[in-house]
């Protein structure tokens, strides 16, 4: 239900520019999630092994980012549920 930026290299100017461009082009119409999934060789290795990042490198930065994304989505869902309840009460 939005845009998730993946393979982000936050220290590079190109990643910063792409993120800013996506937010300015789509941010008013489509949710751009705050969480960004970083680029990591460990994620590439996990894919090559046919494993999830949680099975391959549970303590790594990519797994932590996906965990944070899950929390962000859950919070968004909770806000929507509360709004739906409020709308039904009216």
Q: What is the pTM of this model?
A: 0.84
Find all residues with CB under 8 Å of 3, minimum gap 6, and list them. 22, 26, 30, 31, 32, 33
- pLDDT tens profile 56-72: 999 999 999 999 999 99
* Side-chain-side CA neighbours of residue 74 (13 Å): 6
- pLDDT tens profile 5-24: 999 998 999 999 999 999 99
């Amino acid at each position: 239900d939005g845009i998730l930026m993946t393979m982000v290299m936050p220290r590079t100017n190109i990643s910063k520019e792409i993120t800013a461009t996506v937010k300015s082009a789509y941010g008013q119409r489509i949710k751009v999630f705050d969480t960004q999934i970083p680029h990591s060789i460990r994620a590439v290795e996990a894919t090559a092994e046919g494993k999830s990042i949680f099975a391959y490198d549970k303590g790594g930065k990519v797994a932590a980012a996906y965990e944070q994304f899950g929390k962000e989505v859950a919070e968004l869902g909770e806000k929507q549920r509360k709004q739906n309840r409020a709308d039904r009460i009216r």
